[in-house]
Amino acid sequence: MRPLAAVLLVTVVLPGWAGRDASSAAGGAQTVGTPGPKDRATYFANADLQSIWSDLESRQVINKRVVEGGTHSINVRIVKEGDAPLVHAASADVWIVTAGTSIAVTGGELIEPRKRANSDDEAGAAIRNGVEQSLQPGDVLYVPAGVPHGFRNVRGFRALLVRFDSK
């Protein structure tokens, strides 16, 4: 694995976040939805992120939110082959690829869209006429609100997913 220090050793300063300081970034209780400190950064060491991914894989879970700020979040995310493509009505995604490969399919038209419960998001069966882009460790994918996005040919794909309100 090639070094990804700039990606994996993340320092975050976001207003209203509800995360943890460096001593509890991995493994501690998750405080989702509670405003956190606005006066300090938090650090996620590569070893902590690797531990989170191992835990997710062992429990067959695809996501752990490590920062929740109401209008933004940071997630440790595993993408699986066959995950439904999505459209977020009011939020944008930044995918920071840390391991594995995939082909991102973005744009085009979401086929058979279904509104997801408790959100303005839609999930679909596929994307028609999307643009395909190969992804590998170190790549970054930005998806604006309203743009369909999904993944295919997923091989060990892990990413940090930063989501923020954009409308």
Q: Which amino acid is at 131?
A: V
Q: What pLDDT does residue 37 have?
A: 57
Chunked mean pLDDT (size 10), the chain, 167 residues? 37 34 34 51 87 93 87 91 95 96 98 91 97 98 98 96 92
pLDDT on residue 38: 67
Domains of the chain (ranges, CATH numbers)? 1-63 (no CATH), 79-167 (2.60.120.10)
Quote the pLDDT of residue 36: 43
Instruction: Give the pLDDT of residue 40.
Output: 77
